[in-house]
Structure 1
Amino acid sequence: MSKEKGKFKFTYDWFKYFIPDWENCLSHLKNKKINVLEIGAFEGRSTTWILDELFNNPESKLISIDPFEDKFLDVKNYEATFHENVKMTGKEKQSEVMKSLSSDALIKLNYESKVKFDFIFIDGSHTANDVLVDSLASYRDIGISAVHGA
């Protein structure tokens, strides 16, 4: 979690269960210039961890894809919460948001961007078909590290 406990606002924290594995598997990326793709951002729990823990190099870049449709559980306007949380990291200039369905955003990335990602986190829709499509569509954008899904 962030070095300053409690500075973020999260309704749910399912991400905390990934932290030990991520610390173990991703620590080699900490001081490198890296590109990260996050599919599914919700309130920014994984986003803030990536920015706080992996982005020691000011040239690192994170692209988060989320439609922010307010259809999630009982949480309303989670897009505003996401942006507030990202701002609290002080690294909002290293973070880009694509407000879109992942299927549309990944097509755009595949054809309009030459970015290769060092790490892709797939945690958007949890239906089998959507996860498969996100995995296949983002696979061509992977550089060298890992693809991980929740």
Structure 2
Amino acid sequence: MDGSTPNFEFTNNWFSLTALQNWKSLIPQVKPQKVLEIGSYEGASASYLIGTNHWCEKMALFCVDTWEGGVEHQDAAVDMVSVEARFDHNIAQAQMLASKPSTVTKLKGTSDIQLARLLADGHGGTFDFVYVDGSHQAPDVMLDALLAFKLCRIGGCIAFDDYLWAEDLPQGRDPLRCPKMAIDAFTNIFFRKVRLLSAPLGQVYVTKVAD
């Protein structure tokens, strides 16, 4: 940061509560130059990466989100137009304050389409760090995990947020409306191709060791 007064607009502290402590030790080890974020919301995690980068001359971030919200946001009537506006503002602030430049490619749309396009455009196996924090629905998380694996380079890191997240629904918790089942299935099926990293149970981190 260049010492200017930050003017970020965040309405929650989810990133600080769930990921920040992990990232403070992990990110300097990964030293990502090319980052893919699936689920950006107000841009807290992307802004952190932009602002703390000291390991590469120009970081490239690809941020994927519909900015329409998931089922839980729709149920809560979250104003996603305002969420997207805050993302744009926060990214601009982070870039202005950062000591090193970055490029941010905003990919608005569903992750299945946007990630498939990245693969088709030759980005397979090129990302140093992939953050999976989009839909909380198990089928969506599974598809995000599979595409993230294809896009991540060998030696790169894939991070899964909200491992234990669940909705308290009137009929009880629905395992298909939680990320855990999909993350468990992915790490079990790919156990010869990824290595689990130590992290608090709320998040899961793996290093890709083989295609």
Q: Same fold (TM over 0.5)?
A: yes
Tell whether the 8 Å contact from 1:106 to 1:137 is kept in structure 2 after alignment. Answer: yes
The equivalent residue for 1:25 is 26
The equivalent residue for 2:205 is none
- What is the alpha-carbon distance in structure 1 between the residues aligned to residue 138 and residue 120 of structure 2? 25
Tell whether the 8 Å contact from 2:42 to 2:90 is kept in structure 1 after alignment. Answer: yes
What are the ranges of 5 or more consecutive residues in structure 2 without an aligned counterpart? 162-211
Paired residue total: 148
Q: Structure 1 residues 76, 65: closer, same or farther in 2, change over 3 A?
A: closer
The equivalent residue for 1:14 is 14
- What is the alpha-carbon distance in structure 2 between the residues aligned to residue 50 and residue 113 of structure 1? 24
For residue 68 of structure 1, report the CA deviation from its aligned partner: 1.1
The equivalent residue for 1:94 is 103
- What is the alpha-carbon distance in structure 2 between the residues aligned to residue 11 and residue 88 of structure 1? 16
1:110 matches 2:119: yes
Tell whether the 8 Å contact from 1:29 to 1:54 is kept in structure 2 after alignment. Answer: no
Question: What one-letter code is carried by the residue in structure 2 that aligns with 1:83?
Answer: D
Matches within 5 A, 1:31-46: 34-46=33-45
The equivalent residue for 2:159 is 148
- Helix, strand or coil at the partner of 1:140: helix
- What is the alpha-carbon distance in structure 2 between the residues aligned to residue 120 and residue 61 of structure 1? 12
Which deviates further from its counterpart, 132-141 or 54-63? 54-63
- What is the alpha-carbon distance in structure 2 between the residues aligned to residue 127 and residue 102 of structure 1? 13
Q: Structure 1 residues 142, 14: closer, same or farther in 2, change over 3 A?
A: same
Q: CA RMSD for the aligned pairs?
A: 2.5
Q: 1:85 aligns with which of 82, 90, 96?
A: 90
Question: What one-letter code is carried by the residue in structure 1 that aligns with 2:45?
Answer: S
Tell whether the 8 Å contact from 2:6 to 2:93 is kept in structure 1 after alignment. Answer: no
For residue 5 of structure 1, report the CA deviation from its aligned partner: 7.1
Tell whether the 8 Å contact from 1:44 to 1:86 is kept in structure 2 after alignment. Answer: yes
- What is the alpha-carbon distance in structure 1 between the residues aligned to residue 8 and residue 42 of structure 2? 10
- What is the alpha-carbon distance in structure 2 between the residues aligned to residue 93 and residue 25 of structure 1? 20
Q: Structure 1 residues 93, 119: closer, same or farther in 2, change over 3 A?
A: closer
- Helix, strand or coil at the partner of 1:90: helix
Tell whether the 8 Å contact from 1:58 to 1:94 is kept in structure 2 after alignment. Answer: no
Tell whether the 8 Å contact from 2:64 to 2:109 is kept in structure 1 after alignment. Answer: yes
For residue 79 of structure 1, report the CA deviation from its aligned partner: 0.9
Larger radius of gyration: 2
What are the ranges of 5 or more consecutive residues in structure 1 without an aligned counterpart? none
- What is the alpha-carbon distance in structure 2 between the residues aligned to residue 99 and residue 25 of structure 1? 28
For residue 126 of structure 1, report the CA deviation from its aligned partner: 0.8
What TM-score, normalized to structure 2?
0.63
Q: Structure 1 residues 48, 55: closer, same or farther in 2, change over 3 A?
A: farther
Which deviates further from its counterpart, 36-45 or 105-114? 105-114
